[in-house]
Amino acid sequence: MPSNIDFFNKFKRSRLFEYSFNTPAFSLLIIFVICCFFYLDYRGNSRGFGFLTQSNTVVWVKINGSDESYQDRLPQFLSEQGGGCDVFEGDWVWDESYPLYQSRDCRFLDNGFRCTENGRPDLLYTKWRWQPKDCNLPRFDARLMLEKLRNRRLVFVGDSIGRNQWESLLCMLSSAVPNKDSIYEVNGSPITKHKGFLAFRFSDYNCTVEYYRAPFLVSQGRPPPKAPPKVRFTLRLDQITWSSSKWRDADVLVFNTGHWWSNEKTIKGGSYFQEGIKLNMEMEAGTAYMKALQTVLKWINHRINAGNTRIFFRTYAPVHFSNGGWNSGGSCHLETLPDLGPSASPPQTWPPYSIFLEALSKSNYSKQSTVQKFDILNTTIMTSRRKDGHSSVYNRPPERGPKPLNRQDCSHWCLPGVPDSWNELLYALFLKHEATRMILPSSARVGS
């Protein structure tokens, strides 16, 4: 085996530093030196970028946006100049001041969302902030939000991704309450995945932040008489979910649906579709989803007083399974960084999203009567870039042992994480609506 001295002698004989333009090594050296100068000059002049290393990953990332001075020149979303800003068009930017809370400090989280406590080694996914292209969002102020919610009800209605967002907001709001014992579940129920209804009261503000499980937003029940044996349940496409009587008069409603509207989670599981007394055995899940959305829009139009209740409808949150699906070995556990460029996937990639947009466009109701009664939290495109944010194999406590790699969760999200950004957008739109509500006379608010 050659010694270190032999290696050194060979290195000297290579004459790497000999002044000869005909030597390939010299050419490589010149290129290397030039690149170093460019790199140092770039580092000195582009304050918006940095070199990030973690978990053997080396990548360029945007620090506090691509250009802080550019962001400083953007109007504030809540200002008059920011009125036309589309807050859903933008980029994920690195922000060292994030996250807004730590999971260990929030007792309102399911174990399945506590990725850091469940052994996830990196924290990169907690450091990204959503930056709209043409304006700046207001920084989330939990005390201000709680004041706005004083003596009011905020209710989330939807599937478990909606629950993900609900628990995120509980953590964001509770960070401003010193006495955590003043926040409690109204029925004394523990936070658990298996409860269909949970409501936490912030007693200092006399407000509740609630969650009702309704993954389809329409009623699910027993099959009609003489239905085929394979029909275990029916989805009543013409009836809003049965729990609506409990929350229809809430001050703020946040809807979501989409993840359960597939043939696999409906027809293959024995859930078929019903309208009136008619059971349709041939209808596909996509068609049924469209009809269900039309039912929800009709219900909003006829049963909601827009002067008293503000509705937000969050769009579908894409999943990020690679090399399989949720039940066929799909994975996402190696993802540690978002896609920083524009989404390469068109809206047609996510049928629940494109169907939702089509339902809105085909609605027979005018903007005066329906669309203006709710805000669309159009988070699909921004969320599609966050393949790094899922709970993957980190959705159960370490004491239960490692989770099998073929049973990953690439649908739900780590907290803190992506749902916090949805709530920052909810906060911004809510504040803008509140400002408008304060300006308009009560007679004008009824149809707003």
Q: Which positions ≥6 away from 386 have C-beta within 8 Å?
A: 92, 125, 128, 320, 338, 339, 418
**Tokens linked to 422:** 């949805």
| Inter-residue contact 146 to 394 (CB < 8 Å) | no
> Exposed, middle or buried, 445 (CB in 10 Å: 0-12/13-18/19+)?
middle
Largest Cα–Cα distance in the chain?
Answer: 94
CB under 8 Å, gap of 24 or more: what pairs does 434-442 form? 434/148, 435/78, 442/307
Q: Which helix (H) or strand (E) holds 433?
A: helix 418-439
Contact 162, 253 (CB under 8 A): no
In whole angstroms, give the CA distance from residue 190 to residue 194: 10
Q: CA neighbours within 13 Å on the CB side: how many for 181?
A: 0
Contact status, residue 84 vs residue 363, Cβ threshold 8 Å: no
Per DSSP, the three-state class of 432 is: helix
Helices and strands, counts by H and E, the chain? 11, 17
The number of beta carbons lying within 10 Å of the beta carbon of residue 270 is 13
Q: Evaluate whether 201 touches 187 at the Cβ level (below 8 Å).
A: no
Three-state DSSP class for residue 3 = coil
As to burial, measured by CB atoms within 10 angstroms (0-12 exposed, 13-18 middle, 19+ buried), residue 380 is buried
13, containing H or E segment: helix 4-13
Q: Which residues participate in catalysis according to the annotation?
A: 160, 409, 412
Using DSSP bridges, classify how beta strands 252-255 and 310-314 pair: parallel, antiparallel or unpaired. parallel
**What's the rounded Cα separation, in Å, for the pair 71 and 85?**
14
| Integer CA distances (angstroms), 230 to 221, 226, 238, 272, 425, in order | 14, 11, 22, 9, 43
